[in-house]
């Protein structure tokens, strides 16, 4: 078998203790001690390590994001701080604004050269002013005598917007315990309206039963002449609760007060009598519960209140019923506060008309609540809205800003998109600048409502 022979170059190393180049005049002296090891490697100095005493620049922040800024507007200024964290004088020679979109930024810097003693700072102010809808970037370059960081860059980015996007969050709260007092106008003019309301009462009671709430509900009339009325809770039992058998049927009997009562409708007086002595310890005992339970009043009348007390005086008394006025609401199913209302319902009912219910709507505005027109052609929805309000819930959510495009409004409930629709969806109320939910789309208790919309810039 033939084997390949590989010749390797050899390097010879002298093993002698003697230096062959050493002369006779420099003999080696044997001390009898082992020779110290030779230092064969020398570590070069680290040229990036600064001296112990030197200026040291610190810039904060080094990245600025202006987000969305309306076109032809100027953003709020952002401050960039330059600090000397070293031990010697820091001299900043240049602060320059550059980058592809530097023209859309405005910088105010200190006078140069800038000299900063240790722990001393100075501020650079930066603004963003887009004139297009693109993403626009720039940078600030800071040059100094810092030995290891002579150039520091600050990046800036911003986005021009046709209309800035605005986001709002709402929360659907509710009362877990509530007492509701209905004030029914039982005068002769109310017969048609009461029949229609009774036919649609299931829309009201549904919210209470569906949510399994702790509630009490009673009825008084506006008649303060008949001794059987005058603030007395009507019906075979004074009020229904969440444990009353056939609660809806019992309540409809309470509401059905006929139309033979006094034509001098005194709703305010009836509420005060119902919630004061001697009835509070008599017929109406137990109806008004403690401070922890919410209380709602709902007036149903086609006439304005004829009580001697003013709206302001009544509202002041009413707000004193609870320690926390946020637990009180006052709502009305009445004539429109301007000149009243008139509405043709159908051939069986005919027309419903009402004079202005301004005293009632004034209290609603002061105490908090809602009013619905008694001339409504949709009692089902009106009663649903009244029930929501009595429960401390909302179906209308007023926006902070005015949307510039309705087509771009995004509405979500619990992170789920809600469609734009007057049936099981949402619509926009121009007069209120509000999102209004309808029917099954009305957010339930504890829901989170998110609204995003473009708004018109208000800058010059």
CA distance 91 to 265: 85
Instruction: Report helix angle 379-390 to 191-199, nearest 10.
Output: 70
pLDDT band at 451 (very low <50, low <70, confident <90, very high): very high
Q: Is residue 26 part of a domain?
A: no
Are residue 235 and residue 353 in the same domain, yes or no? yes
**Does any domain span residue 214?**
yes
The CATH number of the domain holding residue 64 is 2.60.40.10
Domain enclosing residue 421, as ranges: 395-460
Q: What is the rounded CA–CA span in Å between residue 274 and residue 218?
A: 10
Most confident by average pLDDT, 50-54, 337-341, 405-409: 405-409
> CATH number for the domain including 197?
3.40.50.410
Q: How many domains does the chain have?
A: 3
Least confident of 10-24, 153-167, 283-297, 435-449: 10-24
The rounded distance, in Å, linking the Cα atoms of 188 and 190 is 6
Last residue of a domain, one of 130, 162, 194: 162
Q: By mean pLDDT, which of 307-321, 367-381, 438-452 is the weakest?
A: 367-381
Last residue of a domain, one of 394, 418, 439: 394
pTM of the model: 0.59
Q: Compute CA distances 164 → 72, 106, 244, whole Å.
A: 12, 20, 53
Look at the block and give the residue holding tokens 């509401």.
255
Of 40, 21, 18, which is closest to residue 30 (Cα–Cα)?
Answer: 18
Contact (CB, 8 A) for 372 and 333: yes
110 shares a domain with 225? no
Examine the domain organization and report whether 257 and 184 are in the same domain.
yes
pLDDT tens for 168-178 read: 999 998 888 99
Residue 4 lies in a domain: no
Answer yes or no: do 86 and 153 share one domain.
yes
Q: Are residues 366 and 457 in the same domain?
A: no
Alpha-carbon span 319 to 327, nearest angstrom? 9
Residue 155: inside a domain, yes or no?
Answer: yes
Question: What pLDDT score does 101 carry?
Answer: 93
| pLDDT recorded at residue 162 | 67
Residue 309 falls inside a structural domain:
yes
Percentage of the chain beyond pLDDT 70 is: 82
389 and 407: one domain? no
Do 229 and 211 fall within a single domain?
A: yes
Is a pLDDT exceeding 80 seen at residue 200?
no
Same domain assignment for residues 211 and 134: no
Residue 239 lies in a domain: yes
265 with 383, same domain: the answer is yes
Predicted confidence (pLDDT) at residue 43 exceeds the cutoff of 60: no
Banded model confidence at residue 193, pLDDT cuts 50, 70, 90: low
In tens, the pLDDT along 424-446 reads: 999 999 999 999 999 889 998 89
> Which of 162, 190, 218 is where one domain is finished?
162
Assign residue 72 a region: left if phi > 0, alpha if psi is -120 to 50, beta otherwise? left
The pairing of strands 294-300 and 135-144 is unpaired
- Asked whether residue 105 is domain-assigned, the answer is yes
The reply to whether 403 and 386 lie within a common domain is no
Residue 66 lies in a domain: yes
Judgement on whether residues 361 and 265 belong to the same structural domain of the protein: yes
Indicate whether 287 and 212 sit together in one domain. yes
């Amino acid at each position: 078998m033939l084997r390949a022979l590989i010749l390797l170059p050899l390097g010879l190393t002298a093993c002698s203790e003697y230096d062959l180049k050493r002369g006779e005049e420099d003999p080696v002296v044997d001390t009898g001690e082992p020779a110290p090891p030779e230092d064969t490697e020398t570590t070069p100095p680290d040229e990036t390590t600064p001296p112990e005493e030197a200026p040291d620049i610190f810039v904060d922040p080094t990245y600025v994001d202006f987000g969305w800024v309306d076109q032809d507007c100027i953003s709020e200024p952002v401050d960039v701080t330059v600090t000397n964290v070293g031990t010697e004088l820091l001299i900043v020679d240049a602060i320059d604004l550059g980058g592809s979109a530097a023209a859309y930024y405005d910088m105010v810097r200190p006078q140069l050269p800038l000299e900063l003693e240790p722990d001393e700072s100075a501020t650079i102010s930066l603004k963003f002013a887009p004139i297009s809808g693109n993403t626009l970037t720039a940078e600030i370059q800071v040059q100094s005598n810092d030995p290891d960081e002579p150039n520091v860059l600050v990046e800036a980015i911003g986005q021009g917007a046709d209309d800035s996007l605005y986001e709002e969050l709402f929360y659907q709260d509710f009362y877990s315990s509530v007492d509701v007092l209905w004030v029914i106008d039982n005068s002769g003019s109310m017969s048609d309206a009461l029949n229609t309301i009774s036919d649609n009462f299931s829309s009201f009671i549904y919210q209470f039963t569906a949510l399994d709430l702790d509630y009490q509900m009673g009825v008084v009339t506006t008649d303060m002449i008949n001794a059987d009325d005058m603030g007395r809770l009507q019906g075979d039992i004074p009020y229904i609760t969440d444990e009353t058998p056939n609660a809806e049927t019992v309540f409809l009997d309470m509401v059905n007060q006929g139309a033979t009562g006094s034509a001098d409708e005194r709703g305010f007086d009836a509420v005060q009598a119902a919630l004061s002595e001697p009835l509070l310890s008599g017929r109406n005992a137990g109806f008004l519960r403690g401070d922890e339970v919410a209380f709602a009043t709902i007036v149903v009348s086609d006439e304005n209140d004829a009580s001697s007390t003013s709206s302001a005086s009544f509202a002041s008394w009413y707000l004193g019923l609870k320690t926390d006025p946020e637990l009180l609401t006052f709502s009305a199913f009445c004539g429109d506060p301007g000149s009243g209302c008139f509405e043709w319902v159908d051939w069986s009912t005919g027309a419903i008309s009402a004079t202005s219910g301004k005293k009632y709507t004034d209290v609603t505005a002061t105490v908090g609540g809602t009013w619905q027109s008694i001339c409504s052609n949709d009692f089902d929805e009106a009663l649903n809205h009244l029930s929501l309000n009595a429960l401390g819930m909302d179906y209308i959510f007023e926006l902070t800003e005015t949307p510039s495009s309705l087509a771009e409004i995004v509405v979500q409930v619990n992170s789920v998109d809600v469609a734009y629709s007057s049936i099981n969806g949402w619509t926009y109320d121009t007069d209120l600048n509000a999102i209004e939910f309808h029917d099954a789309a009305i957010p339930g208790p504890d829901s989170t409502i998110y609204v995003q919309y473009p708004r018109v810039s208000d800058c010059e």
